[in-house]
Amino acid sequence: MKEDKFCYSIKEVSEELGLSYPTLRFWETQFRQIKPNKNKRGVRSYTKEVVEIIQTIAYLTRQQGYTLDGVKKYLDSNTKFQNIDKKAQVIQTLNEVKQALLNIKQGLEKQEQ
C-alpha cells in the first residue's frame, strides 16, 4: 500500500490491488486469515498484514494459476501467515472488549442524567 497507515478501507484495498468489493468479501468467506475489523455499521478496515495476505492471494491466483484450495494449502503451510491469523483474532477480541466498555460507559452516563 502507498500510505503508511494502520488500517485501510475496502475502497483503498480494492483500488490498490485491482480487486472488486465482491471479490474481497468473497475471499473473507474463503480464507480464515482475512478477518477485517468491522465497526458497528459493518464498515471494514484492513490491517497491513491482512492486505499482505490479500496481495499474496491475488498473486497466487492471477500470476501463478493457483486454485483457491491451492492458496489455502499454501497459506496454511506458511508460518508467516499462521501468525497473522492469530494476531487478527487478538485484534477482533480487543475490538469486542472496546465496544463492550463503550456500551457500559454510555449506560453509566445515562444513569447520571
CA 75 to chain centre: 15
pLDDT in tens, 71-110: 999 988 886 666 665 666 676 778 778 888 988 988 888 8
CB 41: neighbour CB atoms within 10 A? 5
- CA 41, CA 60: separation in Å to the nearest integer? 32
What ranges do the domains of the chain cover?
7-112
Q: SS3 of 38, please?
A: strand
Output DSSP code: residue 46: E
Return the CATH fold of 7-112. Answer: Multidrug-efflux Transporter Regulator; Chain: A; Domain 2 (1.10.1660)
Q: What is the largest CA-CA distance in the chain?
A: 62
Q: Which percentage of the chain shows pLDDT scores above 70?
A: 86
pTM of the complete model: 0.70
Tell me the one-letter amino acid at 97.
V
